[in-house]
Amino acid sequence: MVVRAPGRVNLIGEHTDYNQGFVLPAAIDKAIYFAVGLSGTSIIRLYSHDNQQLYTTEAGPVEPCTILWANYLLGVVAQFQQRGIAVPGFDCVFGGSIPMGAGLSSSAAVECGLAYALDALLHTNLDRMTLAHLAQKAEHEFALVQCGLMDQFASLFGQAGQVVRLDCRSLQYEYFPFDTRAAQVVLCNSGVKHSLASSEYNLRRQECEQGVAVLHRHYPHVQSLRDATLPQVQARWAELGDVVYRRCRYVVEENARVEAACQHLLAGDLRAFGREMYASHAGLRDDYQVSCRELDVLVAAAQQAPGVFGARMMGGGFGGCTINLVAPDQVDSFIAHQTAAYQQQLGLPLETYQTTIVSGVDTLELVALH
């Protein structure tokens, strides 16, 4: 079978998913494509077209290996096995158009695409939310990033022309139309991928947990930062310590921004939506401290460009892309403006992507070979 698994953007709600808060992602027209079939052998053969590299292993219990891309796939196999589902030999070739390390969730797309394919080939009938959780666990256990659910959810639940707000606690979600005649989503790829991204990511998660432990002692109903209010966080500043206090403040404020942003979207007020995006960036830069100079330069430049409603860093941080909402008739001048600013201020080339919002993981073609 041939499967398409898209990458994602996130309009707002960053580092809120693992705090049981709200996110507002969408699947985009950059994807990983897979050809997957059961081979009738006892060997799992994985081939990365982009790396021109083959990895094979016995179809027994699988372990992490030293090849990063293979671990995303093996992690998914292991999740099926952990659920008591035997995975026989299969062949998988994959490659795609999601730039690696750009914060567009290529790893989640790899995980979700294979999870979807194996589910179909093995007739396990897992629902999409279960596949999302399975793919997330693959990332935890084989890529060792303690990610939230947003990226896997977006890849599996995307709908064309819509963004989706996920409540990461109840797992309820709601689609909001995104009118591309009013604004286009343009990504500016900083080209930076800091090696500390995953260790800092896991550290942020721990810091949030420390914050919850303190707040829970005083306010027993606080089970996650989703439950805390700003006055409660402020009242415990000394006990939290400055760093943890700032992490908590950011998350509480960001959750409120997602709620406000959805109202602005419904009201068609893109300027107000954009203000939430700029505020999100400021929080990520100053309080959560996951931005970097390159991303800050790109957001500051966007703020000066005509026709931009809002801009911010997107995803885990420490590199990757900024997301920009731009008036459709200003997209070309925006790209020229950003490219020049990045070159002038940092001497760096800039890649940009004008994206459209598409549907989630699906099958492109099902071929039975006899």
How many residues can be counted in the chain?
370
Rg of the chain over Cα atoms, rounded to whole angstroms, equals 21
* Bridge partners for 365 per DSSP: 2
Q: Does 111 bind ligand GAF (CB under 6 A)?
A: no
Q: Which residue among 46, 74, 150, 308 contacts ligand GAF (CB under 6 A)?
A: 150
Tokens of 281: 């960036």
DSSP structure string for 183-215: -EEEEEEEEEE-TTHHHHHHHHHHHHHHHHHHH
Q: How far apart are CA 61 and CA 369, in angstroms?
A: 27
Q: Which residue among 3, 5, 6, 18 contacts ligand GAF (CB under 6 A)?
A: 18
Q: How far apart are CA 341 and CA 347, in angstroms?
A: 9
Q: Which residue among 87, 134, 143, 147 contacts ligand GAF (CB under 6 A)?
A: 147
Q: Does 319 bind ligand GAF (CB under 6 A)?
A: no
What distances in angstroms separate CA 232 from CA 15, 215, 256, 303, one per listed residue?
20, 8, 15, 33
Q: Which residue among 5, 14, 80, 353 contacts ligand GAF (CB under 6 A)?
A: 14
Least gap, CB of 159 to ligand GAF (angstroms): 20
Q: Which residue among 315, 337, 338, 357 contacts ligand GAF (CB under 6 A)?
A: 315
Selected range binding ligand GAF among 11-19, 29-37, 45-53, 60-68, rule: CB under 6 A? 11-19
Q: Does 148 bind ligand GAF (CB under 6 A)?
A: yes
**135-156 in b/e burial notation, b at 16+ Cβ within 10 A?**
bbbbbeebbebbbbbbbbbbbb
Least gap, CB of 198 to ligand GAF (angstroms): 10
Q: Does 316 bind ligand GAF (CB under 6 A)?
A: yes
75 or 316: whose CB is closer to ligand GAF?
A: 316
Closest CA to 184 of 5, 317, 353: 353
Tokens of 204: 């942020």
Instruction: Please list every residue from 76 through 105 that binds ligand GAF, using CB under 6 A.
Output: 105
Active site residue 151: yes
Q: How far apart are CA 69 and CA 34, in angstroms?
A: 14
Least gap, CB of 334 to ligand GAF (angstroms): 24
Selected range binding ligand GAF among 41-49, 56-64, 144-152, 271-279, rule: CB under 6 A? 144-152
Least gap, CB of 99 to ligand GAF (angstroms): 14
Selected range binding ligand GAF among 142-150, 177-185, 280-288, 330-338, rule: CB under 6 A? 142-150
Q: Does 211 bind ligand GAF (CB under 6 A)?
A: no
Q: How far apart are CA 123 and CA 367, in angstroms?
A: 16
Tell me, by CB under 6 A, how many residues bind ligand GAF: 11
Backbone CA torsion sign across 248, 250, 252, 254: negative
Tokens of 100: 């690696």
Could you give the 3-state DSSP secondary structure of residue 243? helix
Selected range binding ligand GAF among 14-22, 46-54, 183-191, 238-246, rule: CB under 6 A? 14-22
Q: How far apart are CA 134 and CA 153, in angstroms?
A: 11
Q: Does 17 bind ligand GAF (CB under 6 A)?
A: yes
Question: So which residues are the catalytic ones?
Answer: 151
Q: Which residues bind ligand GAF (CB under 6 A)?
A: 14-15, 17-18, 105, 147-148, 150-151, 315-316
